[in-house]
Amino acid sequence: MSTPKKRKQSGFALIEVMIAISILAFGLLALAALLAQLFGNTTQSRYLGSEVMLASEKLEDLNQLDYKTYKLGGTAATPLLASGGSLTANNATYFDQVQISSRSGMVIDPTDKTAAAPAPNDLITFQRRWVIESDTPSPRVQRITVIVIPLTGTAVEKAETFQTSTVRPCDASGC
């Protein structure tokens, strides 16, 4: 009598399948974490890009003003070029708020009542404050510093503020 031949079995053992699933799960979790990090960085970059644009715009506006016309008086609508302002507190003639549409990137002036209002949940609000210092860093110049602070968004989106400065010469009568 002959003994039956054992057939060679091909396939995977249960332990091999479990190891393969573990490696696949670990890889997918790492990919999910990477995508979450990428999304957070993208959102923060969008906010920082908006802050840079708003700070540059305010510096350009203040640099183009004629010193003789704007060194006295001043309102939120008519900036003041005299020394003053604060980067930590709101001063009526040295701060404003700007809203940007998060979909189209269109800048909305909250004081313009004729502009079409977008959906409220579509707006990102920023506050700009500026300081004007006379005879700094040298005589007969002004240093203008602008800080932009995001007021809306998540903690990640509001994590950064942007600050920049420029120097402009004073007119013949001084600063």
Q: 156 vs 164, which has greater pLDDT?
A: 164
What is the reported pLDDT for 73? 59
Decide which of 119 and 17 is more confident. 17
Overall domain count for the chain: 1
Query: Is 94 part of any domain?
Result: yes
In the chain, the percentage of residues whose pLDDT exceeds 70 is: 72
Supply the range of the domain harboring residue 133. 14-169
Residue 160: inside a domain: yes
On whether residue 93 sits in a domain, the answer given is yes
As a whole-number percent, the residues of the chain with pLDDT over 90 amount to 16
Q: Classify residue 8: in a domain, yes or no.
A: no
Which residues neighbour 154 within 8 Å (Cβ) at sequence distance 6 or greater? 43
CB count in 10 Å sphere of residue 133: 17
Whether residue 117 has pLDDT greater than 60: no
The answer to whether position 4 is within a domain reads: no
pLDDT of 27 above 90: yes
**Model confidence at 88, in pLDDT bands (50, 70, 90)?**
confident
Confidence of residue 175 (pLDDT cuts 50, 70, 90): low
Is residue 27 a part of any domain in this protein? yes
Distance CA 156, CA 79 (A): 32
**Dihedral sign for Cα atoms in the order 70, 75, 77, 82:** positive
Considering the domain boundaries, does residue 47 fall inside one? yes
Mean pLDDT over residues 93-115, rounded? 71
Assess whether the previous peptide bond of 4 is cis (omega < 30° from 0). no
